[in-house]
Chains A and B, each alone.
Chain A
């Protein structure tokens, strides 16, 4: 049985797409439903191919997300690296879970990411969020199964 590795090109494109999808302009009311694409993609690669995508890659793309969203440098980088670390530690076990349980874990990770970003951002200026700030964590967890199925169908991705 040959072990295939995902090509670097596909990994790059997937991260780039995550970045692009994050900045799509949705109306202010709908913006909260925009899933956390970077967390989704980082979690996918960390769980299924941690030998290709490590903490440094995720950290770097988190830094690019910081630049895109204008937040203080390193906030999203730190949070994505944290999520990536947790995925890598548990990646063997996570691959064994049924998809819905993986979704629950992703929900937890997304909520963690939102918490870290919120706390670090509010160091520099007062941030007020409504309760619907946490909705996108749930949305991201919901589309995790779709993401898994979709990426598996792309050639050269496993």
Chain B
């Protein structure tokens, strides 16, 4: 029957049917939204004031950090220009909400409320406040399906923040566990090392948090070391996610003679 078709041929059919299913997903999401709304609107005055103060303090701290970030980015751009390398512009971002529906039977996937009408595309990176969540695997006009990094079919190229060593982190089917593939015993890796995306494969932008190493086992007879890591993004909690649009790296205007010859 139909399952004999490989996925590519049925994509248009899937897209068409998804457009019909999308209203159902929004419908199921309504009670959750109503619950959130009532939670927000029924808070006591004093609760709101204290939450306001707390957010204001947090905002101040974050703004101070952001100033430092802008300065570091400018310095980075100057250094890159001196070396004659390509200058990266910051990516464009957009916030999306996770629709509270059951997205998949066997896999780790979520559905968000932005689709092709918001320029979402397949393969787009999705992050939350703490780290990378996953990438977009399917889009319909109003929704998109995101596969999380902990899904068994997913793997993300990472590097250890401390020493720059590169590895690949695959999903295991558990929401709190990633496994690094084929890491030689000689690699210097310790528990609590932070793994960031290495940008190889040009799917995920480089430098974003991915996971923190939780287990590093070097056994005598094993071919490779066994490394486990816990994802830093809060995958099990629904909420809001950020979609990233990568901008093409630009050639710096004050480049060296080698670039001018291509002009």
Contacts and interface: CB of A to CB of B under 8 A. Distances in A.
B17 A63 contact: yes
Interface in A111-138: 117, 120-121, 125-129
A70 B138 contact: yes
B103 interface: yes
Nearest to A27: B236
A111 to B, nearest CB: 15
Which of A23, A64, A81, A126 has most chain B Cβ within 10 Å? A23
A34 B101 CA distance: 13
A98 interface: no
A114 to B, nearest CB: 10
Interface in B66-110: 100-107, 109
A73 B28 contact: no
Interface string A15-32: 010011011111010010
Contact of A68 (B21, B100, B106, B173): B21
B2 A74 contact: yes
B37 interface: no
Given A23-B28, A74-B2, A125-B152, A67 B7 contact: no
Interface of B: 1-5, 7, 10, 13-14, 17-18, 20-21, 24-25, 27-28, 32, 100-107, 109, 138, 145, 152-153, 173, 175, 236
The 9 closest A-B pairs by CB, nearest first: A74-B2, A74-B3, A67-B17, A73-B10, A23-B101, A25-B100, A70-B104, A23-B102, A78-B1
